[in-house]
Structure 1
Amino acid sequence: IRSKPGKGYTAFNGVEFEGTFHVNTVTDDDYVGFVFGYQDSSSFYVVMWKQTGQTYWQDTPFRATAQPGLQLKAVKSHTGPGERLRNAMWHTGDTPGEVTLMWKDPRNVGWKDKTSYRWHLSHRPHVGYIRVQLYESTTLVADSGVVMDTSMRGGRLGVFCFSQENIIWSNLGYRCNDTIPDDYYYLYKKQMNLRWGD
């Protein structure tokens, strides 16, 4: 597999995770991002950003097509590291038994060469709360909103690349935090009102 998460050794429950990445080249257009809730190489969340659309150059075991734009995926692989998981991670969409696409930036905008981006992740695995925000300087360029998922109940943090060269990661930081954000309660109340018809 040409995708490689670099991860720390500490497993987290509720956490705020942030960092900056900068792609220091104009000759490549692949995936850059970070992982969280990492339990093992078959079970983790990944936020990955492709610069341009591209079909993976090996169509075995299936044809995988990447779209530009920031993506949040849950990896729960039955096969583990290998060709099937490789193509499933490249592919923008669900691959049953491998990867679920939980959110994608609808603008379909790729990252820019030689530009620094700062991410901020809030993860509260005990209630399934995930929110990813991405900034270029002080401008918010992508926001997942509240995504609810309980596939991984916490885990390790790290950085991620898939076939992309010359990535510089800097100013990585984390803070343990089990406080449930206000927007979770807003979403929960809205869902309950829809369920009960109020």
Structure 2
Amino acid sequence: MKNNYIKATLLSSTLLFGSVAQAALVDLSTWESNGQGTWTVQSGNDSVIQTFNGVPGVFFENGNNARGTAISGEITVKTTSDDDFIGFVLGYQNNELHSASADYWLIDWKQNDQTYPGLGSSLDGLSLSHVVDGSAESSFWAHTAGAVNEVARANNLGSTGWVDNTTYSFDIVHTPSLIQVKVDGVVELSVSNIDAGVAEFSDGAYGFYNYSQLNVEYAGITDRVIVQPPIPSVPEPSTLAIFALGFAGLLTRKLTK
């Protein structure tokens, strides 16, 4: 356990002080949707607006295994109508949204607390959840344990909703051992695989997520590959080294008598 902690600390330091490849604008024109949603790619192909108010939907690049990527851009709810969920998915595979055997990560942000008949209660704020069973809509609404397992709430925005007609910048890092989310340059979520209780964060596409919220724009999307130097191992003391230290101690005691 101690070695795992040290390795996780070294990885976090590597990501903070390491380098990334040059950012490139993402062409959204070939992306696809799962679930419900009306996703309209805008001129330039690096932004999209979702205009449908309904059950959960995602927009993603099918077949893209993007773990080891940093993603940036802006998100804006361009209406004063409704107060529901916006966000992102990470490590997502095609048709996994409502799968009973899902394995992807959900970053969602709700504007207001709300209780809805048949769905339960949802909380305002930004959070990270592990989706392992997406078959019930209520699991996304209430973050039901055993299906949409909430693992962390944001440092500052954990109980603060997004604001209408306000543009937020986002920066997301997704590696096998770290998911980190910045909003307007401030780290809101930084969760290791150890903290999340998994061997590693799943690989797959990143994408955009909407649930019962219309007129949401994701704009200026860029991504870049994280360049990580090898993480040094933490060696265990060898039997020979322990023996040598013990022999040196005995020799020192003999010479000082």
C-alpha spacing 1:153/1:43, structure 2 compared with 1 (3 Å): closer
Higher RCO by CA contacts (8 Å cutoff, separation 6 or greater) = 1
Distance 1:145 1:89 in 2: 21
Contact 2:72 2:171 in 1 (8 A): yes
Aligned to 2:122: 66
Give unmatched runs, 5+ long, in structure 2. 1-34, 36-54, 235-257
Deviation at 1:178, TM superposition (A): 5.0
Deviations 1:124-144 (A, max 9, x none): 11xx21111111xxx63x511
Deviations 1:37-92 (A, max 9, x none): 11332221111000000013324xxxx21111101111011xx43xx2x1111114
Distance 1:161 1:57 in 2: 20
Equivalent position SS for 1:29: coil
Distance 1:69 1:15 in 2: 25
Return the match for 1:166 from 198, 215, 227. Answer: 215
Runs of 4+ in 1 over 3 A off after TM superposition: 149-152
2:128 maps to a residue whose letter is: L
Aligned to 1:120: 171
Aligned to 2:7: none
2:129 maps to a residue whose letter is: K
Looking at secondary structure, tell me which structure has more strand per residue. 1
Distance 1:75 1:178 in 2: 28
Within 5 Å, give how 1:35-114 maps onto structure 2.
Answer: 35-39=89-93, 40-41=96-97, 42-59=102-119, 64-77=120-133, 80-81=134-135, 84=136, 86-92=137-143, 94-96=144-146, 98-105=147-154, 107=156, 108-114=159-165
TM-score (ref. length: structure 1)? 0.75
- Identity over the aligned pairs, expressed in percent? 25
TM-score (ref. length: structure 2)? 0.59
Deviations 1:14-49 (A, max 9, x none): 111122110011121000001111133222111100
| CA RMSD after TM alignment | 2.4
2:161 maps to a residue whose letter is: G
C-alpha spacing 1:109/1:11, structure 2 compared with 1 (3 Å): same
Residues 1:4 and 2:57 are matched in the alignment: yes
Deviation at 1:147, TM superposition (A): 3.4
Distance 1:143 1:170 in 2: 20
The structure number with the bigger radius of gyration is 2
Q: How many residues align?
A: 167
Deviation at 1:101, TM superposition (A): 0.5
Deviations 1:94-139 (A, max 9, x none): 421x1110111255110000000111111111xx21111111xxx6
Return the match for 1:14 from 48, 68, 80. Answer: 68
Give unmatched runs, 5+ long, in structure 1. 190-198
Residues 1:144 and 2:189 are matched in the alignment: yes
Aligned to 2:205: 156
Aligned to 1:192: none
Equivalent position SS for 2:173: strand
Looking at secondary structure, tell me which structure has more helix per residue. 2
C-alpha spacing 1:21/1:132, structure 2 compared with 1 (3 Å): same
Aligned to 1:24: 78
